[in-house]
Amino acid sequence: MQLIRYPELAEWPALQQRAAAGEARELEERVRLIFEDVRQRGDEALCEYGARFDGAMLTDLRVRPEELAAAAAQVPVALQAAIRQAHANLVMFHTLQRPVEERIETMPGVECWRRAVPVQRVGLYIPGGSAPLFSTLLMLGVPARLAECSEIVLSTPPAQDGSVNPIILFTAQLLGITTIVKAGGAQAIAALSGGTESVPGVDKIFGPGNRYVTAAKQLATRYGVAIDMPAGPSEVLVIADSTANPAFVAADLLSQAEHGPDSQVLLLTTSDSVLAAVTAEVERQLATLPRREVAALALQESRAILLRTPEEMLYFSNQYAPEHLILAVEGAEQYSAGVTSAGSVFLGHLTPEAVGDYASGTNHTLPTNGYARNYSGVSLDSFLKKITFQRLTTEGLRNVGPIVETMAEAEGLHAHARAVTLRLESLDTSH
C-alpha cells in the first residue's frame, strides 16, 4: 500500500482517485461494438463470445431443468444451511421495506395516493470467473421475489465445460428462478437489454461486474433499459483510531483487495502506530492468502493515509464516497452521524464488512467509484415503480379547478385551463 502522511488539502483529490479510469473512451467503443453484434446476430454472437472469453463451446444457452435439479447434490450440506440462513436474514430485512399505500386529501374532495408496482421483467447479472458470486444472487433475487416481478432472468458466465457453478444453481433454485442464461460480460448485458432467441429482453438490469459490464450497463440505458446503478470494482475505506485492532483492520482491507486486481482499499487513521501496525499486518496476512496475487495487485493502487483529526478523516471519506465504510473507532455510532456519502457502513471493532457481503441481512449491491454521493444500494425499492393516483369529487373539482385555471392561463397553456373550465361549466349546468 502507498503510505501518505499528513497530505495537504490540495493533494486530496489525487488521493481520492480510483484506479485506471483512463481508457474509458476505448472501452466504451469496444462495448458498443459488442452490443451491435449481439443485437444483430443474437444467440450466434453470444455463443461465439462464450467460446472466445469463457472457453465454452455452447450449443444451448439456457440451463436445462435437469442441470438445475442436480445442483443441490454438488453443494455441501453445511454451505446449503449457511445459504438458507442468509436467505432468511435477507428476507426479514427486505420484507420490512415494503411500502405502505397511504391516501391523503390535499383539499376537500381532492384525494391523492401512490402505489408501488413491480418492475415486470428484470435481469440479474451474476459474475463468474475465479469467484462466482452466489451471494450476489441472494442479494438480488430476494428483493426481486418480494417485489413480485413477473419475470426474472439470471445471466452468468459458464465454465469451460459449459456448466454453471452448482452453488449458483442451488441458490437460483432456492429463489425459484428457472430462466438461467449461460452468458457473461458485456455480451450478456447486451442480450438482456434487447433480447435474443434464447434470452428474454428485460426492463431493468441488476448486478455488479468488471469495467466492461459497468460500461455495458450504462450503454443499456440508451436502449430504454434501466439499471440499478453503476457498480464496478469493489472498494472499502476504513477509518481507524488508536483503539483499532490492526489485525482486524488488515483483514478488512484484504477482504476487498482479494475481489480483483482493480479493487481499491483505503485506510485513514490519526495514529502513526496504527498506520505502521496495520501495514505490517497486511503484509503478514497477504502471504497466507490463496488469492494473494490478486490482492497484491489491488494493493498497488491502495493507500494508507495519516490525517490529523477525526473530522479530517470523516471529511475525506465523504468526499471519496466509498462503497463500504468501516468505522473502527471508539463511539462508532455517534461518529457515524457525520456520514453523508457511503454505500453501507459497518460500526465498531466487531463488525467486519464481510458480514454485509453475506448474511447480516443488508444488501451488498452498492454504488462504487464515488457514486455513493448520489446513488443508494439495492433494496426492495429498486424492484418497484411508484405510480401516483388522484381522484376528484364534485367538491374537489370546484376547490382545485379555479387554481388550475389561473395557473394554466398564466403559463399560456389554454387547453389545460379549458379541460377544467368545461368540467366546471358542466357542473353548473347540471345543477
The question of whether 111 is a catalytic residue gets the answer no
Report the C-alpha gap between 301 and 287 in whole angstroms: 18
**Across the chain, which distance is largest between two alpha carbons, in Å?**
87
Q: How many residues does the chain have?
A: 431
pLDDT reported for residue 210? 82
77-101 per-position pLDDT tens digit: 999 999 999 999 999 999 999 999 9
Domain 2-19+233-361 has CATH 3.40.50.2300: no
pLDDT reported for residue 224? 93
Q: In what order do the strands lie in the sheet with 204-206?
A: 179-182, 151-156, 121-125, 204-206, 226-227
pLDDT reported for residue 129? 65
Contact criterion met (CB below 8 Å) for 236 and 326:
yes
The pTM of this model reads 0.92
Q: At CA 62, angle to CA 57 and CA 64, rounded to 5?
A: 105
Reference 307, options 320, 297, 298; nearest CA is: 320
Domain 24-83+100-231 has CATH 3.20.20.70: no
Which residues of the chain register pLDDT less than 70? 19-23, 129-131, 431
Identify the active-site residue in 235, 258, 323, 353: 323
Sequence letter at residue 246: P
Contact criterion met (CB below 8 Å) for 362 and 225:
no
Reference 41, options 55, 61, 63, 27; nearest CA is: 61
The question of whether 259 is a catalytic residue gets the answer no
Report the C-alpha gap between 335 and 355 in whole angstroms: 21
Identify the active-site residue in 235, 324, 353, 405: 324
C-alpha grid cell, residue 306: 495519516
- Report the DSSP beta bridge partners of residue 227: 205
Residues of the chain with CATH 3.40.50.1980: 2-19+233-361, 24-83+100-231
Output b/e per residue, 19-57; b: 16+ Cβ within 10 A. beeeeeeebeeebbebbebbbeebbebbbebbeeebebe
Q: In what order do the strands lie in the sheet with 110-118?
A: 103-107, 110-118, 384-392
Report the C-alpha gap between 22 and 225 in whole angstroms: 26
